[in-house]
């Protein structure tokens, strides 16, 4: 009767198998990290959209001649730009700050038109701009600098932008912009 030899895994075979397993596991971990980052970005965009919509509804409820709808304010020049690094910077009277959960961050009062500094716990910056639109016929315009006579100022174009200033996105700042018109005629 012959003895059968029992063969097992050699150290080299075991090392190669572990290396293949490790490479596969690292690939899956990168997918998990990417998924978490995309989930955070989606959360920020959703909350930014909700904050912008709430501000739009608040501004639309106001009277056409309400002082808070006076011409002024600024919005970021391009989407996904950091409002404190790029030009223009947020201006008081047309800017609000929110924390990570969308709760208002209180800031000290500064004169309208003054550039603001970012509060410590600010995560979202909400900025709006009000343009008066001269819709009085030929040569009509809708700019922030036009000054039409009061009797032909029928529309105000309002633009609201909310930007997430999270450091997690490495230079990409998720934002939402809404543009709408408020009419003097009901």
pLDDT at 52: 95
Look up the pTM and report it.
Answer: 0.74
- Residue 8: exposed, middle, or buried by beta-carbon count in 10 A (0-12, 13-18, 19+)? exposed
Does residue 153 form part of some domain?
yes
Does residue 16 form part of some domain?
no
Does residue 155 form part of some domain?
yes
Structural domain that includes position 46: 27-183
DSSP 8-state code for residue 117: P
Does residue 130 form part of some domain?
yes
Does residue 18 form part of some domain?
no
Tokens standing for residue 180: 């709408």
If one counts every other C-beta atom within 10 angstroms of the C-beta of residue 28, the result is 9
Asked if residues 166 and 44 have their Cβ atoms less than 8 Å apart, the reply is yes
Domain total for the chain? 1
| Cis peptide preceding 88, ω within 30 of 0 | yes
Does residue 156 form part of some domain?
yes
Per-residue pLDDT of the chain (186 residues; tens, 9 = 90+): 666 666 777 888 889 999 999 999 998 999 998 898 889 889 999 999 999 999 999 999 988 888 878 888 888 777 667 777 765 677 888 889 999 999 999 767 777 777 788 888 889 999 999 887 654 444 445 544 444 455 456 788 899 999 988 777 777 788 899 999 888 775
Asked if residues 133 and 181 have their Cβ atoms less than 8 Å apart, the reply is yes
SS3 breakdown of the chain: % helix, strand, coil, rounded to 5? 30, 25, 45
CA 118 vs. chain centroid, Å, equals 15
Buried b (16+ CB within 10 A) or exposed e, 92-116: bbbbbbbeeeeeebeeeeeeeeeeb
């Amino acid at each position: 009767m012959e003895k059968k030899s029992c063969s097992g895994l050699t150290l080299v075979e075991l090392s190669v198998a572990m290396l293949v397993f490790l490479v596969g596991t690292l690939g899956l971990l990168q997918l998990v990290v990417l998924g978490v980052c995309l989930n955070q970005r989606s959360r920020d965009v959703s909350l930014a959209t909700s904050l912008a919509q709430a501000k739009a509804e608040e501004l639309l409820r106001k009277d056409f001649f309400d002082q808070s709808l006076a011409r002024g304010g600024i919005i970021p020049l391009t989407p996904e730009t950091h409002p404190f690094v790029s030009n223009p910077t947020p201006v008081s009277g047309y800017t609000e700050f929110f924390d990570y959960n969308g709760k208002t961050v209180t800031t000290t009062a500064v004169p309208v038109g003054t550039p603001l500094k970012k509060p410590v716990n600010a995560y979202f910056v909400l900025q709006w701009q009000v343009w008066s639109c001269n819709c009085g016929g030929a040569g009509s315009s809708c700019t922030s600098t036009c000054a039409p006579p009061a009797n032909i100022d029928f529309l105000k174009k309002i633009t609201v932008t909310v930007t997430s200033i999270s450091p997690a996105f490495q230079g990409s700042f998720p934002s939402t912009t809404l543009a709408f018109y408020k009419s003097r005629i009901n």
